[in-house]
Amino acid sequence: AAGDKLLGGLLAEGFDEASCASRYQSYSYRKDRHRKPSPHLIAKLRSYEELHNRCGPNTEPYKNAVKLLRSDHKDVDSSDCKYVVWISYSGLGNRILSIAATFLYALLTDRVLLVDEGKDMKDLFCEPFPSNSWLLPLDFPLTKQFDSFNQGNSRCYGKMLKDKAVNYSTNSVPSYVYLHVAHDYDAEDKLFFCDDDQSLLSKVPWLVMRTDNYFVPSLFLITAFEQELEKMFPEKATVFHYLGQYLFHPTNAVWGLITRYHQTYLAHADESLGVQVRVFDPRPGPFKHVMDQIRSCTLNQNLLPRVDVKASGFTSSKKNPKSTAILVTSLKLDYSDDLRSMYWEHPTSNGEVVGVYQPSHEEFQQTEKRMHNRKAWAEMYLLSLTDNLVTSAWSTFGYVAQGLGGMKPWILVKTENDTVPDPPCRLAMSMEPCFHAPPLYDCKEKRGTDTGAQVPHVKHCEDVSWGVKVIDPAHDEL
Amino acid sequence: AAGDKLLGGLLAEGFDEASCASRYQSYSYRKDRHRKPSPHLIAKLRSYEELHNRCGPNTEPYKNAVKLLRSDHKDVDSSDCKYVVWISYSGLGNRILSIAATFLYALLTDRVLLVDEGKDMKDLFCEPFPSNSWLLPLDFPLTKQFDSFNQGNSRCYGKMLKDKAVNYSTNSVPSYVYLHVAHDYDAEDKLFFCDDDQSLLSKVPWLVMRTDNYFVPSLFLITAFEQELEKMFPEKATVFHYLGQYLFHPTNAVWGLITRYHQTYLAHADESLGVQVRVFDPRPGPFKHVMDQIRSCTLNQNLLPRVDVKASGFTSSKKNPKSTAILVTSLKLDYSDDLRSMYWEHPTSNGEVVGVYQPSHEEFQQTEKRMHNRKAWAEMYLLSLTDNLVTSAWSTFGYVAQGLGGMKPWILVKTENDTVPDPPCRLAMSMEPCFHAPPLYDCKEKRGTDTGAQVPHVKHCEDVSWGVKVIDPAHDEL
Ligand SMILES: Nc1nc2c(ncn2[C@@H]2O[C@H](COP(=O)(O)OP(=O)(O)O)[C@@H](O)[C@H]2O)c(=O)[nH]1
Ligand SMILES: Nc1nc2c(ncn2[C@@H]2O[C@H](COP(=O)(O)OP(=O)(O)O)[C@@H](O)[C@H]2O)c(=O)[nH]1
């Protein structure tokens, strides 16, 4: 049905189908989890598309806005178009999450999102908006300075506050401000998440942001955005689920990887389980305790059938036993090897059939290689197509998969002392990604606070204790 | 049908099915290639089974024959049961082939075959004969001396000839003779393949043989066996095909490995291709030229669909495209990785789907490990269940697969100077294994000769130029 194809109205109609086959085909690969975007979100996206069309690259308003960058301060008769520019930065999972967060910020502040294409944006993602590109034009005058945009730059918002180069009561604002919202940002940079600062920044035509964070949970704590977020996301913990599906459509090259792999290895199984293994350990590995952890999580949670270790022999099989495909993604092969051998060497106790598949084993992160990034993106996406998901603590790669797939994953608890944690994994409270570096500051009281305890729908994450994430307390606790 | 289950009468009825599930189930996994064993072969096997039952381990004749070993020469009133004992030796592929050859020799000489169980015979193979075991009893008096059975041993037939300890006209023969028919045997050992020597040896109650050779082709050159072989194998190049299927039934442990793997990864494909990669190179590898060779052989021979390297993109797939499963066996993972990536990264030109599967990658030969040998045996067997087969030159592992499966494989030509040979592979003339170390001697003329040119049905092998193999000239050349 057309409603399915447009994901319940999330996607706009009228794109050219052939140039980005994934956009209108993804629904047929994904389990229907009976969720619908709110009418308000849909309306918001449609009006954003209008804004983007009107103010986006190469429009008159865009050209006028660019002119502002040449003068130091905002002109009176400037256009009403304002922008937020996302600078290409960090690993692919981080990039996807931070673009989604920046897009939500754009929606909330009526800004146009422009994305610095960096090394491989065009290779990985289709254009998400009809009629006009989301890519920052290559002749954007500030691009050459991106490398110098850091916390010491005089246009960095945190630095400006330290230098008292802006004040909250002024009407004169600079034509652009650099926002440093990366993992290493400091107390002043973090004031970005306060109402007063948002009010000041709202006057600045160009915000240029460097971020590797999914900072959405902290947007929920800004009073000015509260109402709008409530209307857009009545089911709160669906922000990345919807914005991710709205923004990130694999290019045909990546869609080829996804659909070929799916058709060849996964489609014929009755059920699928994704297991995303990301080991943050400087030693080379593989680690026996991680293998044990995966086995113990998947078996204890009944995600996989147990094997009959004593019966190494032949057990006559049922006619059409249930089959499960395990999709393992990992930089190393050993973890899937371990599962594959287990189900090869022993029959399952219930006669079910379990196949284990791993698309690649790239050995180490190689962010500069085209095919490497294509495969990473294809694998996140393939994970998102599985019926159930096990992810690794701390990994944005896993967050992308769970979010696109609309699944609460089982999170493999971070190991300590090379032992299997007890419990080995915990069911996530929501499918939302975790914000790893939230401010711990109460803007009104102007003092430190526990940001994970201010409202019922922003809680500390399961995997990163100081991180925060959006949940739906009605479903999950309270 | 029952006829299928017994492989056209090749197998005897009446075995306990549960204790060796593979015996009567194998037919349902194997492509029917419309071959039938000759009535004479069937009769021969049934009468061998009677002989084995009457003379086998722990029967009165066996006990009497064992007594002979205590005296130095054969008694007049000895039983009419004679034996050939196969000593456990060499890699698994070699063992399977040499046991089959020794069994054919037993059939031709009315001897009882007894197999030294070595490290893992019981773990790998079911008993092939009804009513009595083929395993040499553990208290066999000569077993302790097996280690000393070599070319220097005074009971070694070649040595006896050199020492003139036997002569062709005598009636007095020793109670046992050690036959050295291993790859390193010498001119006198090789006289085993002459009529006069066979006539002498026919009087010896116990022949104890160490061999890693598939010496069947040379049995075809012994005048005394000619007629019988002709009757047993009217289609000549089916010797190992039938004897292998008759003798080697995977134990339930191994059958579990075979059937689970088949059901999980291979059964749903429309067609399957086995690719056996065995690289005899002291350097660790992997070798780029071997990858190129595999690609070029399989694509040139239309064993696999070509990929569209330019179209890395998405090509909308047919509704139910033909699917091929490639089963790769190799000690290393790199060769299957290469194929898997190729079919993942690019669509096929004809829209077909190709999955690549490799059960294990053991890295190096570990003949002493139980699970290692089980897996090696399971993999040879799985290869034999494929529709088409590519094998590596020189490898008995591949010979076993082709023989059991009844396929003429495409043999990857042995590489030289790290380049892809031209042609990269050649279709085998027959499905028979190659005898790597045949005598090059004309017994009648008592001089060297080209054993591959004496009769039309014994020719030099495709892969080992000095080796010989049985072919059917009517089909293949002449
Ligand atoms: N293909 C592939 N690449 C991976 C995998 N795990 C990590 N990588 C690579 O390492 C990068 C990790 O960075 P990121 O995506 O930000 O995820 P994170 O570091 O886990 O939060 C990925 O983008 C890939 O380049 C994997 O399972 N498959
Ligand atoms: N599992 C497995 N083992 C192999 C493979 N190739 C070689 N081996 C091991 O190496 C041995 C090779 O000896 P053999 O079977 O006599 O074959 P050949 O050396 O190729 O003639 C096997 O028996 C296995 O133990 C393979 O593809 N898979």
Q: Indicate which atom in ligand 2 lies nearest the CA of residue B378.
A: 1
CA distance A356 to chain B (A): 9
Q: Is the pLDDT confidence value at A273 over 50?
A: yes
Name the percent of chain A lying above pLDDT 70.
95
Nearest to B259 among A265, A268, A314 (CB): A314
Q: In the structure encoding, which two tokens stand for residue A97, read together? A: 């999450």
Q: Indicate which atom in ligand 1 lies nearest the CA of residue A95.
A: 16
Cβ distance of A353 and B264 shorter than 8 Å:
yes
Instruction: Kindly tell me the sign of the dihedral angle through the C-alpha atoms of B160, B162, B167, B168.
Output: positive
Nearest to B256 among A253, A261, A314 (CB): A314
For Cα atoms A103, A106, A108, give the angle at the middle one, nearest 5 degrees. 115
Name the nearest CA neighbour of B430 among B227, B233, B193: B233
Name the nearest CA neighbour of B224 among B304, B121, B110: B110
Using CA atoms, how far apart are residues B340 and B225, in angstroms rounded to an integer?
48
Give the pLDDT confidence score for residue A73 in this predicted structure. 58
Interface test with A, best of B28, B255, B264 (most A CBs within 10 A): B264
Tell me if B440 CB under 6 Å of ligand 2: no
Q: In the structure encoding, which two tokens stand for residue B321, read together? A: 């495209």
Q: Indicate which atom in ligand 1 lies nearest the CA of residue A378.
A: 1
Give the pLDDT confidence score for residue A334 in this predicted structure. 97
Q: Is the pLDDT confidence value at A132 over 60?
A: yes
Q: Is the pLDDT confidence value at A2 over 70?
A: no
Tell me if B133 CB under 6 Å of ligand 2: no
Q: Does residue B192 contact residue B210 with C-beta atoms inside 8 Å?
A: no
Name the nearest CA neighbour of B141 among B99, B98, B189, B85: B85
Query: Which residues in chain B land under pLDDT 50?
Result: 76, 476-478
Cβ distance of A263 and B333 shorter than 8 Å:
no
CA distance A370 to chain B (A): 12
List of chain A residues whose C-beta atoms are within 8 Å of the C-beta of residue B262: none
Give the pLDDT confidence score for residue A316 in this predicted structure. 64
**Exposed (0-12), middle (13-18) or buried (19+): which is B14, by Cβ within 10 Å?**
exposed
A interface residues, B as partner, C-beta within 8 Å? 21-22, 251-253, 255-257, 259-261, 263-265, 268, 312-317, 321, 323, 333, 341, 343-347, 353-355, 359-360, 371
Beta-carbon contacts below 8 Å between A and B: 80
Using CA atoms, how far apart are residues B290 and B286, in angstroms rounded to an integer?
8
Tell me if B367 CB under 6 Å of ligand 2: yes
What's CA B77's distance to the chain center, in Å? 37
Using CA atoms, how far apart are residues B475 and B428, in angstroms rounded to an integer?
12
Q: In the structure encoding, which two tokens stand for residue B84, read together? A: 């050939």
Spacing, Cα B394 to ligand 2 middle (Å): 12
**In the 8-state DSSP scheme, what is residue A309?**
S
Task: Give Cβ neighbours of residue A145 (< 8 Å, ≥ 6 apart).
Answer: none
Using CA atoms, how far apart are residues A446 and A18, in angstroms rounded to an integer?
53
Q: In the structure encoding, which two tokens stand for residue B6, read together? A: 């017994």
List of chain A residues whose C-beta atoms are within 8 Å of the C-beta of residue B333: 333
- The per-residue pLDDT for range A27-47, each reduced to its tens digit, is 999 988 889 999 999 999 999
List of chain A residues whose C-beta atoms are within 8 Å of the C-beta of residue B21: 314, 316
- The per-residue pLDDT for range A153-191, each reduced to its tens digit, is 999 999 999 999 988 887 788 999 999 999 999 999 999
List of chain B residues whose C-beta atoms are within 8 Å of the C-beta of residue A263: 317, 321, 353
B interface residues, A as partner, C-beta within 8 Å? 21-22, 251-253, 255-257, 259-261, 263-265, 268, 312-317, 321, 323, 333, 341, 343-347, 353-355, 359-360, 371
A413: three-class secondary structure by DSSP: coil
Residue B389 CB: number of other CB atoms within 10 A? Answer: 25
**Ligand 1 pocket: which of A96, A361, A365 to mutate (most atoms <8 Å of CB)?**
A365
**Exposed (0-12), middle (13-18) or buried (19+): which is A94, by Cβ within 10 Å?**
buried
Residue A458 CB: number of other CB atoms within 10 A? Answer: 24
Cβ distance of A359 and B343 shorter than 8 Å:
no
Tell me if B358 CB under 6 Å of ligand 2: no
Using CA atoms, how far apart are residues B378 and B257, in angstroms rounded to an integer?
6
A299: three-class secondary structure by DSSP: helix
Give the pLDDT confidence score for residue A167 in this predicted structure. 85
- The per-residue pLDDT for range A358-367, each reduced to its tens digit, is 999 998 888 7
Spacing, Cα B462 to ligand 2 middle (Å): 20
Using CA atoms, how far apart are residues B408 and B427, in angstroms rounded to an integer?
7
Task: Give Cβ neighbours of residue B37 (< 8 Å, ≥ 6 apart).
Answer: B7, B8, B9, B10, B238, B242
- The per-residue pLDDT for range A397-434, each reduced to its tens digit, is 999 999 999 999 999 999 999 999 999 999 999 999 99
Spacing, Cα A112 to ligand 1 middle (Å): 29
At A443, the amino acid letter reads: C
Name the nearest CA neighbour of A95 among A232, A11, A209, A227: A209
Report how far apart, in Å, the C-alpha atoms of A243 and of each of A13, A100, A449 are: 16, 6, 29
Q: In the structure encoding, which two tokens stand for residue B373, read together? A: 């040998």
Q: In the structure encoding, which two tokens stand for residue A227, read together? A: 């109402």
Spacing, Cα A34 to ligand 1 middle (Å): 29
- Which ligand sits nearest to residue A464's alpha carbon? 1
Spacing, Cα B277 to ligand 2 middle (Å): 10
At B57, the amino acid letter reads: P
**Exposed (0-12), middle (13-18) or buried (19+): which is A169, by Cβ within 10 Å?**
exposed
Give the pLDDT confidence score for residue A170 in this predicted structure. 77
pLDDT band at A310 (very low <50, low <70, confident <90, very high): confident
- Which ligand sits nearest to residue B91's alpha carbon? 2
Spacing, Cα A361 to ligand 1 middle (Å): 11
Name the nearest CA neighbour of A109 among A224, A232, A21, A253: A224
The residue of chain B with its CA nearest to that of A353 is B264
Using CA atoms, how far apart are residues A109 and A224, in angstroms rounded to an integer?
10
Three-state secondary structure of chain B = CHHHHCCCCCCCCCCCCHHHHHHHHHHHCCCCCCCCCCHHHHHHHHHHHHHHHHHCCCCHHHHHHHHHCCCCECCCCCCCCCEEEECCCCCHHHHHHHHHHHHHHHHHHCCEEEECCCCCHHHHECCCCCCCCCECCCCCCCHHHHHHCCCCCCCEHHHHHHCCCCCCCCCCCECEEEEEECCCCCCCHHHHHCHHHHHHHCCCCEEEEEECCCCHHHHCCCHHHHHHHHHHCCCHHHHHHHHHHHHCCECHHHHHHHHHHHHHHHCCCCEEEEEEECCCCCCCCCCHHHHHHHHHHHHHCCCCCCECCCCCCCCCCCCCCCEEEEEEEECCCHHHHHHHHHHHHCCECCCCEEEEECCCCCCCCCCCCHHHHHHHHHHHHHHHCCCEEEEECCCHHHHHHHHHHCCCCEEECCCECCECCCCCEEECCCCCCCECCCCCEECCCCEECCHHHCCCCEEECCCCCCCEEECCHHHHCC
Give the pLDDT confidence score for residue B79 in this predicted structure. 63
Using CA atoms, how far apart are residues A235 and A408, in angstroms rounded to an integer?
14
Q: Does residue A449 contact residue A443 with C-beta atoms inside 8 Å?
A: no
CA distance B324 to chain A (A): 9
CA distance A452 to chain B (A): 43
**Ligand 2 pocket: which of B90, B290, B365, B369 to mutate (most atoms <8 Å of CB)?**
B365
Which residue has the CA at smallest separation from atom 26 of ligand 2? B330
Spacing, Cα B376 to ligand 2 middle (Å): 6
Q: Does residue A460 contact residue A468 with C-beta atoms inside 8 Å?
A: yes
Q: Indicate which atom in ligand 2 lies nearest the CA of residue B397.
A: 17
The residue of chain A with its CA nearest to that of B321 is A263
Q: In the structure encoding, which two tokens stand for residue A336, read together? A: 């899937």
- The per-residue pLDDT for range A328-378, each reduced to its tens digit, is 999 999 999 999 999 999 999 999 999 999 999 998 888 778 899 999 999
